[in-house]
Structure formats: structure tokens, C-alpha cells
Amino acid sequence: METAEKTLDEILTLAAAHFKVAREKLSPDEDFFKALGIDSLQTLDLLTKLENHFRVELPDYELQGVTDFRTLAAKIQARL
Amino acid sequence: MKQFQGQTLSWDLKDGIIELALHREPLNEISSLTLGELEQFVAALDGLGGEAHALILHSTLKSGFCAGADLRELYQWIREYGQVEVATHAREYLERIHSVMNALDSSPLTTIAAVHGVTFGGGFELALTCDLLVADKMARFCFPELRLGLIPGYGGIPRLKRDLGNAVVRDLLLTGRSFNATKAQQIGLVSQVVGEGEALRAARATATQMAKFDRTTAAAAKRFIKPIPHEELRREIDIFCELISRPAVEAGLKKFVESTDAQPYLP
């Protein structure tokens, strides 16, 4: 069982690598749309990456209104 | 015509395999122009079929296979024809696109959709006409139509129900959620999940394998196992045309077309 902090850290690392952003520039409470410079289609890409990595299924309606990495991590953690 | 280069798609016949490539920016939205070129393809298919054993559908765009109907064009129709007249126009359009989809679905060739990224709405419906789906692990599938006050109109519900069953259709349709390639394979929709950028290569390998089989036998097997759900397809057109005249549809389309929301593709 992954801890919430480890899940958050892995999300930040994955997002940084996928969107080619320096990992150290991303912080947990940051708006990921702005931090990563992504639109809705790229958000779906990120969702797919995370689902594949954590081997979970996260319905995209659960992401409605989610904008920061910490809340995203909590959504994933709840399905691990 | 063994080769064609259109504004929205192209095709090429080589070594018994026809490859139909979608290439309309930004995400292969299916417009009147796309439909016209799909009709040209279907008309050419009879002539090509004698030299081919397989057909592969794919997209050359990095963002995905196809985002579905061109919603800007649909919104324009409602504004141009009005909420009542648009139903007549929509019915004519749907009759044409169903004709294309049915021709692809019942083609004697073995057909493969090689999909990646966004495979939504009408794009998902196009993929569902194929005998096999090969998916990049980054592919996502969705029927987002309910958020616009509509149902899928290109034959998606009857085809998905035929292939998978009613419960899966209800889940996708009534939640509007998208799911990934792994889930699609788990429920039996996708036959192969491959690495990023590998779907077309895997589809070509599969199509090459099919060349080993007698064409008459393969076509007979397909006819036997893959009936066209004509009655439900007719009903789908009726329901779509009943729904499209409601003000809620115009409002939903307006919201999408004019959206500056960062998440318009999320339900």
C-alpha cells in the first residue's frame, strides 16, 4: 500500500517527465493546468498516464474541479 | 483508385492492405467534408476489395484517433436551420453517415482500427465498425454526447451493445466518462493493447497474418458472427432527431463551442 505522500511524489515526478517540466518547479498545491501549461486533452493524457502507472481506474468526472496535485493524489490514493 | 489524398483523410492500397488515414486538424472532427470523403472511400472500396484482404483505419495526428462529430458545424446548423428544421437536416446527414458506417461494418475485408489518444463520440463509433481494435496504451474511449443533450448518432450504441452488452453501454452512455485502453481490453472491446506509438505497427502485423486465410472463408465467418443491427440503428436515428430540436441541445453546443473552460473534454 502506497502512502499518500509517496503517491503525491510519484504524480509530480510522472507529470514533470511527461510534460517535460523540471520536477523541482512543481509543488503539491499548485494549479497543475498552469504549472504544466496543459489543456483538457492533455489532462486526459495525464489521467491515462496516472491510471496506467498506479493500475487504477479513475472516472474523469471525479476530476471535475480538481486543479491541484494534492487533491489529485487523494483521488488516486482512495482507489489504491 | 489505389491512392487518394483528401483534405480530411487519405487512403493507400499496398500488399493487400488498405490503410485509411484520418488527418484533419485539430482532432479529426467528422464534418460534412469528412463525410464526403468517407463516401468516396466507400465507393472506391468495391474496386479496391478485389486486391485487398484487410483494411486498417488510423489517424496520423499525434493528439488521437478522432474526437467525434464536428460540434462547431452542428451548432452552426442549429443556428442556420432553426431548432425544428435542423431535425430534417440531421436525419439526411445521419442517413448518409449510417450508410458509410454500415458499409465499413459489413465489408468483406477484415477491418482493424488502430487507435491512440482521444477516441471519442463519432470517432469511437467509427472504430466500432471495425472487426478488431488495436489500441495504444494511451488511448481513451468515451461517449460524451449526453452532456450535449444528445445520444451518439453514428451507430455507436447498437454496435457497442452488439459487441459487449447493455451494461457497458449504460455505464459509458449514462456517466459520459472515458476509460483507457487497459479497461477497454478487460471488458473485451480491444483485442490488443500496445506501447505508445505502436498501434499502427501492430495492426499491420495483424493484417499481414490475415493474408494467410482464404478470403471467401474469412468473409463468410465475418458475416456469420457480425450481424448489422439494422433495426436498432434506425431507432437511434429517430431518437437523435427527436432530441436535437430541443433548446437544451443548442445551449449545450453553445456552451462547448464558446467554452474557455480548461476542461471542456471532461464530463
Instruction: State how far residue B117 is from chain A, nearest Cα, in angstroms.
Output: 7
A57/B180 touch (CB, cutoff 8 Å), yes or no: yes
Contacts of B265 in chain A (CB under 8 A): 40-41, 43-44
**DSSP per-residue codes, B160-218:** HHHHT-HHHHHHHHHH--EEEHHHHHHTTS-SEEE-TT-HHHHHHHHHHHHTTS-HHHH
pLDDT tens, residue by residue, B42-84? 999 988 878 999 999 999 999 899 999 999 999 999 999 987 7
Q: Mean pLDDT throughout A67-76? A: 94
ipTM of the complex: 0.89
Distance (Å, rounded) from C-alpha B181 to C-alpha B187?
A: 10
pLDDT at B1: 73
Distance (Å, rounded) from C-alpha B247 to C-alpha B8?
A: 31
B208, burial (CB in 10 Å: exposed 0-12, middle 13-18, buried 19+): middle
Answer with the residue of higher pLDDT: A34 or B122. B122
For an interface test with B, which of A52, A60, A63, A75 has the most B Cβ atoms less than 10 Å from its Cβ?
A: A60
* Cell 427527436 sits on residue: B242
Q: What is residue B148's DSSP assignment?
A: G
Distance (Å, rounded) from C-alpha B57 to C-alpha B140?
A: 16
Question: Chain B residue closest to A33 (CA)?
Answer: B262
Q: Mean pLDDT throughout B158-179? A: 94
Tell me whether A31 touches chain B (CB under 8 Å): no
Could you tell me the fold of the domain covering B3-257?
Answer: 2-enoyl-CoA Hydratase; Chain A, domain 1 (3.90.226)
Enter the C-alpha cell of residue A16. Answer: 514533470
Q: Domain residue spans in chain B?
A: 3-257
B180/A52 touch (CB, cutoff 8 Å), yes or no: yes
Distance (Å, rounded) from C-alpha B151 to C-alpha B239?
A: 8
pLDDT tens, residue by residue, B75-104? 999 999 987 789 999 999 999 999 999 999
Is pLDDT at B245 greater than 60 in this prediction?
yes
Is pLDDT at B174 greater than 80 in this prediction?
yes
**Is A4-77 assigned to CATH 1.10.1200.10?**
yes
Distance (Å, rounded) from C-alpha B58 to C-alpha B66?
A: 9
